[in-house]
């Protein structure tokens, strides 16, 4: 069985990663997909603990629903994590003895990534398993125009 950690934050980029997994399974045979959503420890300014928890729960539920919509019929295991996204994804992959981590690239550019950091870069630096990065903007740029 191939075990994949699919990072989902509900963005179009993470949905593209799920679509890639649906359209081209990693290996023939059985697949175990662990959908991971990582909520930040800090939230929007002025949110109380309960409001932050509710906001995080709503975002996690949306991310899980997006994965389920793209991967219908495939049993998905949900993981709602809190903290640093890269560290949590790598730790989950290690705990599950996963074969790969799959995530979408936001494609913010080198300058923004250097200033704010990049989850993709951090996962690539920390992971001990293969990391599959889906860049939907690059795929769209290569796709022939449809008339």
The domain that holds 105 is classified in CATH as 3.40.50.620
Domain that holds residue 94: 2-140
Domain count of the chain? Answer: 1
pLDDT in tens, 80-94: 999 999 999 999 999
Average pLDDT of the residues of the chain: 81
pTM of the model: 0.80
For 137, counting Cβ atoms within 10 Å of its Cβ (0-12 exposed, 13-18 middle, 19+ buried), the class is middle
Residue 146 lies in a domain: no
Kindly list the distances between the CA atom of residue 63 and the CA atoms of 57, 80, 104, in Å, as whole numbers in the listed order: 10, 10, 13
**pLDDT for 109:** 55
Residues 42, 32 contacting (CB under 8 angstroms): no
Q: What percent of the chain has pLDDT over 70?
A: 76
pLDDT in tens, 46-68: 667 778 888 889 999 999 999 99
Residue 37 lies in a domain: yes
Residue 145 lies in a domain: no
Q: Which two tokens stand for residue 142?
A: 């290569």
Residue 147 lies in a domain: no
Residue 98 lies in a domain: yes
**pLDDT for 25:** 65
Residue 103 lies in a domain: yes
For residue 137, what pLDDT band results from cuts at 50, 70 and 90? low
Mean pLDDT of 101-114: 67
């Amino acid at each position: 069985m191939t075990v994949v950690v699919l990072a989902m934050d509900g963005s179009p980029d993470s949905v593209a990663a799920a679509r890639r997994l649906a359209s081209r399974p990693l290996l023939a045979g059985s697949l175990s997909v662990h959908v991971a959503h990582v909520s930040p420890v800090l939230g929007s300014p002025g949110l109380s603990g309960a409001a932050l928890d509710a906001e995080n729960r709503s975002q996690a539920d949306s991310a899980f629903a997006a994965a389920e919509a793209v991967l219908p019929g495939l049993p998905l295991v949900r993981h709602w994590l809190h903290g640093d996204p890269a560290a949590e994804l790598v730790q989950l992959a290690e705990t599950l003895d996963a074969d790969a981590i799959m995530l979408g690239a936001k494609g913010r550019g080198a300058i923004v990534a250097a200033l704010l950091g990049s989850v993709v870069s951090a996962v690539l630096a920390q992971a001990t398993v293969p990391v599959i990065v889906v860049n939907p903007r690059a795929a769209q740029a290569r796709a022939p125009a449809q008339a």
